[in-house]
């Protein structure tokens, strides 16, 4: 029994709730050789959808949550204020470290989401070469960046009158490396696990992953930095 | 055996390209982060004029990065799946994204401003209603500068054969940090 796709069918498809499946999606995929990923993207942001409304509806809750979590991070920053002020390189390191972990959250999340849309993530994500490549790249960049900001923070602090000591320089770089390694690991795990979970729920992970990874990275970086500062200094 | 080496070479080439793109943009981003802090250090006297600003600050910076980062990632996904091939489709998706980013930016700034006001009132006993208009004005200013820059950069990078996912994350946070600090300082200057 054949079924020709009419304009009425297309209209019915466009009106369909996003979380429901329709047999036409499969038919369009077969007949016109359009990938499921493209159909999914067009279902979200196609000509019949109001893009801004879809984005706002999907993003608003997670963005509110992310902003509140980050504000909590700011509150935590006030608690380690005295340690930060006493040890100048740590104070200089803090915004750069925070920024860097946020960057890793954005890069890892957007790269992983693109892989999901392109259908390249296998059932076991660990066995997917592209996912392993993302992990390797992020860890390599993290290691170099951590040494760079650790050393730069110390040099700037010395320039502002902080006494130079090789041991302290090594400790600053060590703190930067340990904090970056821990936080990059957290960011990667959140990006991958949450990305798969959101994608399976037929939502666009771009709208969830970046806010959640960056805000959690913000809060975690405050805690990890505070713990390592107490441990090393 | 040949195919094994070909696969290995392709993976190494892919890793190297990705590494170079992320590393280069991260280097610029970290330097930009220092620049944002440097800008802020010049205006410490002005920051004390609005109590509660330090509570607003991390959330505001985070929000800017989140909105622009997600917008860039959505546009990139659209470019990759071929949903933005025609001018009409591209316009539809980009206009929708820009509209959503402006709406979200303003709505969240109001929320963050109110949150900062409430926290400073209940935890520090300071009443500073000025924090709310500061947050709104700063969000509007940041939107006007940051959204067109983010969209243009994403499209340009894709057109030039780069993966915007590798570059836009750090780009957005760097530009976001600098623009947010500037916008907040201008907003304080306007309000106070």
Helix H, strand E, coil C: the string for chain A is CCCCCCHHHHHHHHHCCCCCCCHHHHHHHHHHCCCHHHHHHHHHHCCCCCHHHHHHHHHHHHHHHHHHHHHHHHHHHHHCHHHHHHCHHHHHHHHHHHHHHHHHHHHHHHHHHHHHHCCCCCCCHHHCHHHHHHHHHHHHHHHHHHHHHHHHHHHHHHHCCCCCCHHHHHHHHHHHHHHHHHHHHHHHHHHHHHHHHHHHCCCCCHHHHHHHHHHHHHHHHHHHHHHHHHHHC
pLDDT tens series, chain A, 233 aa: 455 667 777 667 666 655 555 566 666 666 766 666 666 666 666 666 777 888 888 788 888 887 787 777 666 665 665 666 677 777 777 767 777 887 788 788 888 888 888 888 877 777 788 888 888 888 999 999 899 888 888 887 787 777 888 998 999 899 999 999 999 998 888 888 888 888 888 777 877 787 778 777 777 877 787 788 778 77
- Tell me what pLDDT residue A177 has: 92
ipTM: 0.74
* Higher-pLDDT residue of B51, B114: B114
Contact B66 A136 (CB under 8 A): no
Contact A64 B111 (CB under 8 A): yes
Predicted TM-score (pTM) of the model is 0.66
Is pLDDT at B137 greater than 90 in this prediction? yes
Q: Does A71 touch chain B (CB under 8 A)?
A: yes
CA distance A124 to chain B (A): 19
- Tell me what pLDDT residue A197 has: 87
- Tell me what pLDDT residue B102 has: 92
* Higher-pLDDT residue of A20, B47: B47
| Interface-testing mutation among B17, B19, B70, B178, with chain A (most A C-beta atoms within 10 A) | B70
- Tell me what pLDDT residue A1 has: 46
Is pLDDT at B2 greater than 60 in this prediction? no
A214 contacts on B by Cβ (under 8 Å): 62, 65-66, 69
CB nearest B177 (choices: A53, A99, A210): A99
The chain-wide mean pLDDT, for chain B, equals: 80
């Amino acid at each position: 029994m054949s079924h020709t796709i009419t304009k009425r069918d297309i209209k019915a498809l466009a009106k369909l709730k996003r979380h429901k499946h329709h047999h036409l999606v499969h038919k369009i995929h077969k007949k016109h050789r359009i990938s499921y990923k493209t159909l999914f993207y067009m279902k979200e942001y196609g000509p019949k959808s109001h893009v801004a409304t879809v984005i706002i509806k999907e993003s608003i809750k997670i963005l509110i949550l992310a902003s509140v979590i980050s504000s909590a991070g700011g509150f935590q920053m006030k608690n380690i204020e005295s340690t930060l002020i006493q040890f100048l390189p740590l104070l200089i390191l803090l915004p750069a470290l925070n920024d860097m972990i946020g960057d890793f959250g954005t890069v890892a999340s957007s790269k992983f989401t693109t892989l999901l849309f392109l259908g390249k993530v296998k059932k076991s994500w660990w066995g997917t070469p592209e996912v392993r490549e993302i992990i390797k790249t992020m860890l390599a960049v993290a290691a170099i960046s951590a040494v760079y900001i650790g050393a730069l923070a110390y040099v700037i602090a010395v320039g502002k009158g902080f006494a130079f000591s090789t041991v302290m320089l090594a400790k600053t770089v060590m703190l930067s490396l340990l904090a970056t390694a821990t936080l990059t690991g957290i960011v990667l795990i959140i990006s991958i696990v949450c990305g798969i979970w959101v994608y399976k729920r037929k939502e666009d992970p771009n709208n969830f992953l970046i806010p959640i990874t960056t805000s959690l990275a913000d809060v975690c970086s405050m805690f990890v930095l505070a713990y390592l500062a107490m441990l090393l200094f | 055996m040949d195919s094994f080496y070909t696969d290995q070479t392709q993976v190494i080439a892919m890793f190297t390209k990705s590494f170079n793109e992320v590393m280069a943009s991260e280097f610029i981003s970290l330097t930009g982060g220092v620049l944002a802090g440097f800008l802020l250090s010049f205006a410490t006297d002005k920051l004390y004029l609005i109590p509660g600003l330090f509570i607003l600050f991390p959330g505001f910076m985070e929000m800017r990065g989140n909105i622009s980062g997600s917008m860039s990632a959505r546009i990139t996904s659209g470019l990759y799946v071929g949903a933005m091939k025609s001018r009409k489709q591209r316009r539809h998706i980009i206009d929708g994204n820009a509209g959503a980013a402006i709406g979200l930016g303003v709505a969240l700034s109001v929320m963050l401003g109110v949150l900062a006001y409430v926290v400073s009132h209940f935890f520090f006993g300071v009443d500073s209603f000025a924090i709310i208009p500061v947050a709104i004005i700063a969000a509007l200013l940041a939107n006007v500068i940051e959204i067109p820059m983010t969209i243009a950069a994403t499209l340009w990078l894709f057109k030039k054969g780069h993966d915007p996912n590798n570059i836009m994350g750090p780009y957005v946070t760097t530009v976001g940090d600098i623009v947010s600090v500037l916008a907040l300082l201008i907003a304080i200057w306007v309000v106070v």
